[in-house]
């Protein structure tokens, strides 16, 4: 496929606001693809050259892209910077300068998808002395052979600002529409994706082996499984009423990890499925020593530990261990303990289809006694009073709360089900739980904050059914001066000149941003709102947070892992029930 065809589809996607239209554009694009290039088309459309767990990135910042544009167009870097300041978009900058290109190439050739992908992959794998210059030349080569429209997407790609507005659910729907003409295959495609976390692999399998190949998908060590998520209920009574006799585990406030082991090789993946093995050498050593299986995939929560006092550090300190540099020093300062809570695969057996009580017994058998890996503390309860007592004890020990698990439920990869139910501490006079929101825009500082180019956030919750993010809160408090400076810098790098297709908001911030960051937010309560779009329907107002306050930046969560519209509605109902009980 010529890259021109892909660029034309991208242009249509960028101008489209409806998910059904996006699905139609993608499914038509897929019809023109061959089986040996569909995975490349999927990856490029996701803004990556490989699934995140492979850790392969192009590794070019804005300044280097500017140099490549300069090389390809003949304009001085100063001129490129000048146009970029005006457009705010490296893609538009490349397109504009190519339209008035100073030097014409005598040997330009039409670009193919394969050529563009191969060049990006070579850039990613280039390292050592002179690697940046080599990367710049490869990017300039692509731009030199590109049409202005192709160049706009090629220039955006290395800096992660493709701006197509499509998410993985829309791509899955489009694959189903390509094969079946409708969304009927979506569930089976999503199951395969949940097991391998590689959308390119799913597409390539569908193209080469059809739906039968998708149905044969199996768990593979070192391909992370998309994590199961918990629902929430407000009381021990409602948990027992919902799932009956259940396992109750302490909810640790740490880093969720998925551990893969094959013989002596160990890999660690974050809840966002990013490879982070090198950051946690003590966990790797502990897994090699304590896991009694040749091959295994298990999940756990890692917490920083104070060896002297025997206490666990708060989440903010644990997060300091997630770093590229200074790993050894931080490992000595904040050593981790991993509390294993589930087993997904062991020695050829898929345990995700087994009930929880079997998985727990297997986990207990496979984890040997040691200093690093521990089993999560767990009890079985069928009485709300027992569950409540375990919950209160967990809070006293500094935990977030508890997670109740249906003893007979399978592991539901990539989904939020009542197989797991969380109960977290509540705060007097506040919403019973914090929520995780996606930043969709920000406001400039006013009054005392005028010296900052940041004054507050516009945040959204995730609508799983429509794959869009709907506004739920304007957040203007909870920020220190240091955090305001941090947000000014962070958000300034990802601001865009228009509302993204996956964003639904009637409130207009000073700047829209790419869907990148998730923040934890506390609030007094959830109220009905005529201005916010979360849960808004025909003739019905939406939902909003009253007096929202930022608590923390969640670097371990992707936008799709944020609190959902359905959760906000359910929390609103819980809140109403609690208020009625109190009166």
Please enumerate, by residue number, every residue annotated as part of a binding site for ATP.
249, 256, 271, 301, 341, 416, 422
Alpha carbon of 292 to those of 55, 72, 286, 299, 366: distances in Å? 28, 56, 11, 15, 5
- Provide, for the chain, the percentages of residues in helix, strand and coil under a 3-state DSSP scheme, each rounded to the nearest 5: 45, 20, 35
Taking a C-beta distance cutoff of 8 angstroms, is the pair 192, 211 a contact? no
Contact 262, 424 (CB under 8 A): no
Cα(271)–Cα(278) distance, integer angstroms: 16
CB 261 within 8 A of CB 91: no
Residue 251 known to be catalytic: yes
Who's near 194: CB < 8 A, 6+ residues apart?
A: 225, 226, 413, 414, 415
Q: What is the CA radius of gyration of the chain?
A: 25
Name the H helices within 181-235. 186-196, 199-215
> Could you give the CA distance from residue 236 to residue 160 in angstroms, rounded to a whole number?
44
Q: Phi/psi of residue 173, each to 5°?
A: -60, -40
CB 387 within 8 A of CB 239: yes
Select from 5, 2, 4, 10 the least CA-distant residue to 157: 10
Residue 445 and residue 393 in contact, taking contact as beta carbons nearer than 8 Å: no
- The pair phi, psi for residue 16, each rounded to 5°, is -100, 145
Which tokens is 33 given? 């693809």
Choosing from 251, 337, 405, 474, the catalytic residue is: 251
Residues for the chain: how many in total? 583
Residues that constitute the known binding site:
249, 256, 271, 301, 341, 416, 422
397 secondary structure, DSSP code = T
Are 524 and 478 in contact by the 8 Å Cβ rule? The answer is no
Which residues have a catalytic role annotated?
251
């Amino acid at each position: 496929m010529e890259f021109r065809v892909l660029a034309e589809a991208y242009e249509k996607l960028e101008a489209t606001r409806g998910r059904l239209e996006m699905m139609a554009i993608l499914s038509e694009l897929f019809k023109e693809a061959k089986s040996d290039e569909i995975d490349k088309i999927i990856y490029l459309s996701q803004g990556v050259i490989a699934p995140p767990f492979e850790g392969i990135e192009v590794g070019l910042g804005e300044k280097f892209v500017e140099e490549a544009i300069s090389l390809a167009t003949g304009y001085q870097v100063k001129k490129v910077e000048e146009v970029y300041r005006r457009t705010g978009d490296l893609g538009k900058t490349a397109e504009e300068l190519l339209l008035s290109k100073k030097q014409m190439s005598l040997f330009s050739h039409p670009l193919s998808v394969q050529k563009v992908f191969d060049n990006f992959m070579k850039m990613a794998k280039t390292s050592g002395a002179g690697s940046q210059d080599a990367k710049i030349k490869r990017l300039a080569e692509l731009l030199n052979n590109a049409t202005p429209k192709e160049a706009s997407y090629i220039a955006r790609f290395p800096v992660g600002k493709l701006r197509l507005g499509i998410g993985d659910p829309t791509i899955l729907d489009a694959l189903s529409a390509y094969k079946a003409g409708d969304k009927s295959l979506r569930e089976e495609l999503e199951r395969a994706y949940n097991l391998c976390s590689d959308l390119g692999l799913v597409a390539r399998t569908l193209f080469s082996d059809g739906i039968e190949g998708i149905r044969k998908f199996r768990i593979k060590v070192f391909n992370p499984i998309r994590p199961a998520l918990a629902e929430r209920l407000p009381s021990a009574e409602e948990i027992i009423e919902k799932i009956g006799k259940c396992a109750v585990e302490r909810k640790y406030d740490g880093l969720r990890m998925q551990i893969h082991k094959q013989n002596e090789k160990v890999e660690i993946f974050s809840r966002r499925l990013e490879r982070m093995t090198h950051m946690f050498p003590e966990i790797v050593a502990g897994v090699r020593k304590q896991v009694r299986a040749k091959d295994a995939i298990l999940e756990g929560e890692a917490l920083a530990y104070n060896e002297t006092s025997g206490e666990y550090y708060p989440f903010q300190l644990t997060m300091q261990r997630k770093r590229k540099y200074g790993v050894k020093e931080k490992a000595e300062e904040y050593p981790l303990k991993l509390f294993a809570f589930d087993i997904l695969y062991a020695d050829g057996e898929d345990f995700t289809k087994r009930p929880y009580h079997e998985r727990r017994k297997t986990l207990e058998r496979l984890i040997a006694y040691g200093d690093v890996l521990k089993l999560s503390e767990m009890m079985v309860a069928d009485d709300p009073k027992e569950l409540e007592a375990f919950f209160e004890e967990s809070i006293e020990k500094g935990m977030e709360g508890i997670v109740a698990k249906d003893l007979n439920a399978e592991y539901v990869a990539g989904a939020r089900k009542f197989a797991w139910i969380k109960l977290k501490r509540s705060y007097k006079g506040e919403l019973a739980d914090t929520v995780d929101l996606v930043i969709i825009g920000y406001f400039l500082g006013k009054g005392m904050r005028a010296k900052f180019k940041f004054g507050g956030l516009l945040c959204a919750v995730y609508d799983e059914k429509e794959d869009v993010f709907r506004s739920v809160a304007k957040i203007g408090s909870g920020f220190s001066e240091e955090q305001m400076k941090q947000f000014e810098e962070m958000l300034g790098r990802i601001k865009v000149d228009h509302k993204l297709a996956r964003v639904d908001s009637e409130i207009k911030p000073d700047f829209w941003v790419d869907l990148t960051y998730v923040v934890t937010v506390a609030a007094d309560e959830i109220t009905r709102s005529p201005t916010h779009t979360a849960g808004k329907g025909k003739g019905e107002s939406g939902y909003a947070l009253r007096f929202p306050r930022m608590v923390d930046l969640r670097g371990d969560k992707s936008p799709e892992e944020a609190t959902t519209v359905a959760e906000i509605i359910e929390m609103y109902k819980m809140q109403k029930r609690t208020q009625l009980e109190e009166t």
